[in-house]
């Protein structure tokens, strides 16, 4: 047998061995996947460390709202029905621990600090309307609260900086369409307004302080009425920009 034939046989042998190894590895991988599908992993027992960032439970939220209603000394309206001139709890969420506290729990295995909630309250029924943030704790049975607004923002949060509530959006829509009825004939002629082809959109910035407003009533919002009308030849879009003073609803 000459050298050339020997080299060819050696190459074929190596190729055959490589192919067999690949086949065996592929079968092993498929077998492992099948075993995983047949035996799905059981629920992992989550350690207490992970609970440091766990969302508030329904019971904890109820207890926070109940505590604030009993301890702020004012009537708090339900946020869904609250008018801009009412006091209401707008937002409740977990108040995260500091980085040092979290690392003590996660890296050093120390005890978890008491869980606390962050509550955002709209004080629209005050002489000086404002938005205040409270830390409420310990959960699930809160006994104290503290105002962190100045420490967090460095100043009081003006009332016109708050988000628009669903009740306020509805009041704005009612106000706009009542006013547009006074010019319905004009809008019909110039914009083909039929009483239904209008939509209201808020514009940025949400809050605007007018110089003519007395102190404490800096709560004007800008909004835009957008109408889209169509004809056989073209589409037309037009808008009206106006102001809405939240506290008075005018």
Please report the domains of the chain, with CATH numbers, ordered by start residue: 48-158 (3.10.450.40), 166-245 (no CATH)
- CA 172, CA 206: separation in Å to the nearest integer? 13
Q: What is the pLDDT along the chain (250 residues), one digit of tens a residue?
A: 567 777 777 777 788 887 777 777 776 555 555 455 455 544 444 455 667 888 999 999 999 999 999 999 999 999 888 888 899 999 999 999 988 988 888 888 888 889 999 999 999 998 889 999 999 999 999 999 999 999 999 998 888 888 888 888 888 778 777 877 777 777 777 777 777 776 666 665 555 554 444 444 444 455 555 544 333 333 344 444 444 444 444 3
Q: What is the pTM of this model?
A: 0.63
Question: CA angle at residue 21 from 19 to 23, to 5 degrees?
Answer: 70
Q: Running DSSP on this structure, what letter comes out for residue 44? A: P
User: Strand 198-208's sheet: what is its strand order?
Assistant: 198-208, 220-230, 235-245
Task: Tell which residue, 115, 134, 112, has the closest CA to residue 59.
Answer: 115
- CA 11, CA 93: separation in Å to the nearest integer? 68
Q: Which residue has the tokens 């004007």?
A: 220
The per-residue pLDDT for 50 is: 66
The per-residue pLDDT for 209 is: 52
Strand segments (E) across the chain: 87-95, 116-123, 130-137, 144-147, 157-158, 198-208, 220-230, 235-245
Say if residue 205 is preceded by a cis peptide, omega within 30 of 0: yes
Q: Which residue has the tokens 């490589």?
A: 18
């Amino acid at each position: 047998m000459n050298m050339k034939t020997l080299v060819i046989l050696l190459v074929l042998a190596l190729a055959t061995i490589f192919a067999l190894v690949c086949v065996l590895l592929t079968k092993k991988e498929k077998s492992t996947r099948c075993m995983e599908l047949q035996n799905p992993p059981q629920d992992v027992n989550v350690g207490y460390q992970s609970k440091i960032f766990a969302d508030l439970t329904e019971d904890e939220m109820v207890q926070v709202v109940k505590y604030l209603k009993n301890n702020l000394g004012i009537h708090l309206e339900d946020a869904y029905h609250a008018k801009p001139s009412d006091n209401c709890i707008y937002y409740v969420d977990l108040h995260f621990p500091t980085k040092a506290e979290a690392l003590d729990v996660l890296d050093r295995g120390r005890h978890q600090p008491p869980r606390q909630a962050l509550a955002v309250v709209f004080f629209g029924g005050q002489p000086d309307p404002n938005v205040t943030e409270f830390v409420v704790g310990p959960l699930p049975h809160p006994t104290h609260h503290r105002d962190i607004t100045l420490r967090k923002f460095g100043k009081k949060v003006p009332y016109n900086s708050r988000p628009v509530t669903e009740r306020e959006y509805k009041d704005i829509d009612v106000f706009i369409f009542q006013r547009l009825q006074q010019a319905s004939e004009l809008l019909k002629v110039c914009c083909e307004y039929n009483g239904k082809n209008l939509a209201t959109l808020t514009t940025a910035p949400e809050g605007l302080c007018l110089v003519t407003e007395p102190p404490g009533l800096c709560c004007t919002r800008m909004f835009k009425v957008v109408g889209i009308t169509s004809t056989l030849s073209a589409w037309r879009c037009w808008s009206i920009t106006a102001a809405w003073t939240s506290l008075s609803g005018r």
